[in-house]
């Protein structure tokens, strides 16, 4: 296994629930280090571009509306196997299917809008390589040397 970096977002539903710190704790307790972070209100254009891969899907407009409904907390997580580890911490896409103890199981309403699932995480090395520079310049990524 290698040290990887992955793009993580705490979505507007979880920011509104005021659980940024609790979700950060999950990352840190799992051994992931935050090497960049910022809160941002996404524009419609940014959300549309970030999720462009889903532009033909029926839920695309709803996803953009949701992702621009309030600020998101965006971070780069670093650690051994960070991409898959973060996906494991997140749980399955729909909160009703998310594994017990996962972020999506613990911070989402299983009976609510299935798209309102608290977190985003890059799903592969190639995705992380596109998604990290989408939000952060090289100078904004900090080396954690101590």
Q: Which residues bind ligand CDP (CB under 6 A)?
A: 59, 62-63, 93, 114-115, 117, 120, 123
**Binder of residue 59, out of ligand CDP, Mg ion, none (CB less than 5 to 8 A by kind):** ligand CDP
Among 11, 26, 104, 120, the active-site one is 120
What is the C-alpha to C-alpha distance for residues 23 and 92, in angstroms, rounded to an integer? Answer: 16
What is the separation, in whole angstroms, between the first and last Cα of the chain? 21
Is residue 120 annotated as part of the catalytic site, yes or no? yes
Phi/psi zone of residue 15: left (φ > 0), alpha (ψ -120 to 50 degrees), beta?
Answer: alpha
Q: Which residues contact 39 (CB under 8 A, 6 or more apart)?
A: 15, 71, 72, 73, 74
CB of 40 to ligand CDP, least distance (A): 17
CB of 18 to Mg ion, least distance (A): 25
Residues 96-125 that bind Mg ion (CB under 5 A): 123
Query: Which amino acids are annotated catalytic?
Result: 120
């Amino acid at each position: 296994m290698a040290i990887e970096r992955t793009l993580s977002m705490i979505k507007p539903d979880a920011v509104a629930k005021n659980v940024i710190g609790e979700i950060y704790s999950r990352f840190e307790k799992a051994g992931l280090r935050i090497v960049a972070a910022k809160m941002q209100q996404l524009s419609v254009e940014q959300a549309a571009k970030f999720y462009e891969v889903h532009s033909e899907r029926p839920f695309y407009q709803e996803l953009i509306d949701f992702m621009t409904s309030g600020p998101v907390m965006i971070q780069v997580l670093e650690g051994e196997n960070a991409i898959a580890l973060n996906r494991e911490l997140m749980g399955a896409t729909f909160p009703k299917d998310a594994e017990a103890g996962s972020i999506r199981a613990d911070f989402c309403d299983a009976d609510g809008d299935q798209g309102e699932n608290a977190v985003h995480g890059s799903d592969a090395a190639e995705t992380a390589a596109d998604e990290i520079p989408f939000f952060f310049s090289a100078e904004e990524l900090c080396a954690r040397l101590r």
